[in-house]
Structure 1
């Protein structure tokens, strides 16, 4: 009988050059979450089966990097720009095997550069930035965690302002909560209060009561901090 391992090879076609390749993914049965931070960062039982490491697919042929949330649409001239800025200088890196934390971080940075050149939706960029922040948190690198949380926060605010999160798995109440939560974590308490209040105002029509309760708890914590400031 074949022994199942946490990782398996999933086949992809590059959205850019159309080359076929494989990228590691984690079998769902091996994903065991111990807890979540207040910004939804999960802690896993085993780093070997951490799906965040394998969220990004890196094309070995051209270097274009993307997630399953990346759209297939390329605005005019964006493919030429990607070829000029990425593929022209690309030398294949081994992203098809087991990834270290540093490998994972680099794969996200490649994907963010690819997404920026492609003019990808703000909501997609926000998710990439946030996951990098989580990876730096696991390394206890507070400076880089803060840097990428601020970048994620900016993209979530942009996404909310232009509504490009609609039609994705991100709900309005969750994006408002994340804007508020990342505002706390980057020390903008006034902005955090503003957005947590927006979340709480949605409690009668929301189908995500847990997020509403989390927002109330965090709103109360900020008020207590401000009282004793």
Structure 2
């Protein structure tokens, strides 16, 4: 099986407990996205490494300290937090104190979530837990970043959506591994066939050499004296090639039986829950009373995302004018439509269209600058029409 990996590792010291953690970072080009939904959720993800096909890349969106479970979005700012004077001077101290206090509680939600993370067994459920932990820690800051909270909840919504569509990820992981093993064994078989073909060609050339009439008379007797010795060795090697072919056939049947037992046997139909719980939703619901930031479904996550996007949109320090403002307005509209708030969606779709048209006109000579705004404007018009149909239908 290939030992290649879609990851490289990055060491980062935890700002809270000073533990040096080694986090996996996805290599560029390790997966491809095929299309995006109207809320920008990737529709299809194709990994270069098949064993990870069941993994949503959002598994690696956050970094969780293995000791204290402090969690941040795994980006350049977190990797270089020691040189981030704003974080070190204004955010770190209050977050550290509150985080450690919560961690020390006997019924600590932070500890419960952190200790339940199991990326190998439950990759996408673990991603939901990890992003929750990032939300918990962001909410401990004196001045929370509403835009980040909106982004985090939106990604949790995407994960819930994909959970409803995917197969058992453990089964998918096994299938991916067996696919790699299949490909490797095919290479072995092909190599054996090629080696035999090369050998047959060599033997043919060797006998042609022995039987050539072009050799000088004085060396004919020497050639004949060696020919029989070669013939014996050739027979020995031909037997080895035949035995190899037979053994590879036996190995192929053995491997097929093993694969069937693991992927197609009793394990294939086993129920897929979440540890001692029937689902990740049940686990989250079990802890929701202790922390209102917990969401248990896609819709709950979208409602939270809308709230924090609105908070960021209403402020004047998180969202920059132009493309980011237009995108935030559109997301509020589209997410509102998805949760059934058609009146709210109408307001923000109209705002998106107005702001988008103004921005595009103002920068009409700079197509590269307005490319994103044009795309969002098209989406806003299309989804705005869809929203109006839903609004009319709901009023009947």
The within-5 A match list for 1:68-217 is 68=75, 72=87, 73-74=90-91, 77-86=94-103, 90=111, 93=115, 98=120, 100-119=123-142, 120-140=144-164, 144-166=297-319, 171-202=324-355, 203-206=357-360, 207=370, 208-217=373-382
Q: Distance in 1 between matches of 2:6 and 2:104?
A: 31
- Larger RCO (CA under 8 A, 6+ residues apart): 2
Separation in 1 of the partners of 2:138 and 2:323? 18
Contact 1:79/1:118 (<8 A) preserved: no
Residue 31 of structure 1 is matched in structure 2 by 31
- 1:78 Cα offset (Å): 3.1
SS of 1:12's partner is strand
Structure number, greater radius of gyration = 2
In the TM superposition, what is the alpha-carbon distance from 1:167 to its structure 2 partner? 5.7
Q: Which residue of 2 aligns with 1:59?
A: 65
Whether the 8 Å CA contact 1:38–1:181 is kept in 2: the answer is yes
Gaps of 5+ in 1: none
Report how far residue 10 of structure 1 moved: 2.2
Tell me if structure 1 keeps the 8 A contact 2:322–2:359: no
Residues 226/41 of structure 1: CA separation in 2 closer, same or farther (3 Å cut) = same
- Structure 2: tracts of 5 or more residues without a match: 48-52, 79-85, 165-280, 282-295, 361-369
Q: Looking at secondary structure, tell me which structure has more helix per residue.
A: 2
Q: Is the 8 A contact 2:8 2:26 kept in 1?
A: yes
Inter-CA distance 107–192: structure 2 relative to 1 (3 Å threshold): same
| Aligned-CA RMSD value | 2.8
TM-score normalised by the chain length of structure 1? 0.86
The answer to whether the Cα contact below 8 Å between 1:11 and 1:21 also exists between their aligned partners in 2 is yes
Give the TM-score normalised by structure 2: 0.52
